[in-house]
A = this chain, B = another copy of it.
Amino acid sequence: MPPKKKARSAGAAVPKSYQAIARQRVVIENMRPALEGGYPIKRVPGETVTVQADAYADGHDVVRCALRVKRPGARKWEELEMHSPQEDVWEASFQVDKTGDYLYSVCGWVDLLASWHHGLERKVAAGQDVRVELQDGAEAFRQAAEHQRGKLKKRLLALAELLEDPERVAEAVHVALGEGTKALMAECPHAVDRTESARLPLRGERRKAGFSSWYEFFPRSASGSTERHGTFDDARKKVLPLIARMGFDVIYLPPIHPLGVQFRKGPNNSTASKPGDPGSPWAIGSPEGGHTAIHPELGTLKDFKAFVQAAGKMDIEVSIDLAFQCSPDHPWVSEHPEWFKWRADGTVQYAENPPKKYQDVLPLHFESEDWQGLWQALLEVTLYWIEQGVTIFRVDNPHTKPFVFWEWMLGEVHKRHPEVLFLSEAFTRPRIMARLAKIGFHHSYTYFTWKNTKQDFEDYLNELVHGELREYMRPNFWPNTPDILAWHLQYAQAPMFYIRHFLAATLSSNYGIYAPAFDLMVSDPVTGKEEYYYSEKYELKDWDFEAMTPFRERIAHINRLRKDQPALQDTFNISFNETDSDLLLSYTKIDANGKDIVLCVVNLNPEHTVSGWVRLPYWRLLPLLGIGEGHPLVMQDLITNHEYTWSSEWNYVELNPHELPYHLFRVIPA
């Protein structure tokens, strides 16, 4: 018989830090996803998180792991059993069901009941005498019963009684190895001395962080004449109906504030402006006000709010531009000279990228002694516009302001208004773009604007959706911006515009166009530069905001399809299909439930018909569709309503760009 236990006290000098962990035998490491610096991963409701960790224990006992999740507002943690897809790796998934702050962790422990059971199985299989094992099992189940109550406790004690009955050994073995005992053990894991990983944050953001269609336009060009400065009222009456009809759900307005006069730019970015030239909207501030004022020629705050309200009735949100910089006439230059960098000649340092000079724009000086005052003022600007009904901000050049400022500011806004979204306009180096996303921006401009070959698209999308980036950076694809008319869009004809729109709208769930330059297919560049000739940035335009052109119809159609097909509302569900031509890009998107399967094929050549073969991802589709190999599939082209029957892996396609350079197939069984 085991003698009585006695504690050995002499010389025991294990530090206190070990008291809690000394009997935690499971190691948990390499949690993923897990972002350096403790930043949250991001999801929108409906999206899933698959958590993996490496976990193992000393010795040969059975290890079990659980994924723990604390949902926003919940008092308790949920626990999900993990499985082990490969040796010493554990995995489980959970779905995000609402917005808010989540925590998740992985917990692991040695399961003594299961270890006993595993040993019993092996000994019985080896024909060994297991009478003592049954006694040991009885004791183990009695101990487990101590942590339980009610029916479960009774079942555990009943099993213990059977196991320790020397008259019923054969029956005890039979019952112990049966399914009932396994089920019983699963119900009461012996979960003491568990190891828990760090508790990692997840931010549940609203649906629009994951799925949105943006339309950028200059309200000052909404008057229908280059002679008259457009107003919010013009925009509300003339532009809103078009936007609603085209199916966009975010309007982005370039800065709407009073503009500087000193060093105002003229047409084509010339330094000599004539009276009447409206100036760049990004040269913010005049004696009439700064970042919280409205350009008088656009209207009043009331007009702005009416515009926002009218948009809201059409389920369209209005985003304004946070361009944290000042014209030389901005009130802050005199009220807060300490927020600018003064030069030896008594002027303020203007923005420049030698040899380029932007004399109409003064950067704010974040290394100012009064950085706190500056931060606070910029937060106040943001909160002011939120009060006026703005729920989304496009942020101009965030990469030229300190990261720590954004982290603080976005955090402050999040605390007060978690629904407010920020789009990072950082066309810069990859790590910087990623950092801005990590510290709180909800959407990010991307390099899509310049990608133009099959290899380009495949490589770039794979980088965005298959690495750690996917956990925190939500791409927003723009074929153009007021600053960028990419080489391939210069002097382009309709097919190229169709292609670029289709790619933006189907590769990415978030996309936008600078309009109506895009939907009216403006393509004249400044020679040798990726810039618009007679850019709207420096002059008023007389755009057609009414005609429902074939291209606008097509855009509207695709925006409708984006709303109808859940597969198109996710960026991270893309996989590329093989084709036998470098000019044929094909990809499949499948929604989270596996019900909606969309397959796209694009002819990347805007001039000539391209034909070739596309390889169906059969091995993935068949189980989702619940059919066997060889069963034909119907490819419903949701744009043309044509149907094709595909019954083998490789399938012929032919796309004439002058008719339509793409297929958007819904895939269903024949």
A residues with a Cβ closer than 8 A to B are 1-3, 5-9, 11-14, 18, 21-25, 27, 29-30, 36-37, 54, 56, 58-60, 87-88, 119, 122-123, 125-126, 128, 132, 135-136, 138-139, 164, 193, 334, 336-338, 342-347, 352-355, 366-367, 369-377, 380, 399-405, 408, 429, 431-432, 435
Contact = CB atoms under 8 A, between A and B. Distances in A.
Nearest to A193: B367
B399 A59 contact: yes
A435 B345 CA distance: 63
B139 A377 contact: no
21 contacts: A2-B337, A5-B337, A5-B369, A5-B370, A8-B373, A8-B374, A12-B376, A21-B404, A22-B371, A22-B375, A24-B404, A25-B367, A25-B402, A58-B399, A58-B402, A60-B353, A60-B400, A119-B354, A128-B355, A132-B343, A135-B345
Nearest to A135: B344
Contact of A22 (B2, B132, B404): B404
Contact of A373 (B9, B36, B402): B9
B2 A346 contact: yes
Contacts of A403: 25, 27, 58
A119 to B, nearest CB: 6
Contact of A122 (B25, B88, B354, B374): B354
A157 B260 CA distance: 39
Given A36-B30, A58-B399, A431-B54, A369 B88 contact: no
A519 to B, nearest CB: 34
A11 B380 contact: yes
B429 A355 contact: no
A377 B18 contact: no
Given A123-B355, A132-B347, 12 more contacts: A2-B342, A2-B346, A8-B338, A8-B370, A8-B377, A22-B405, A25-B402, A27-B435, A29-B435, A60-B400, A87-B429, A119-B352
Contact of A346 (B1, B27, B374): B1
B355 A126 contact: yes
A37 B34 CA distance: 14
A375 B352 CA distance: 66
A396 to B, nearest CB: 13
Nearest to A119: B354
Contacts of A11: 376, 380
Contacts of A138: 344
Contacts of A37: 29
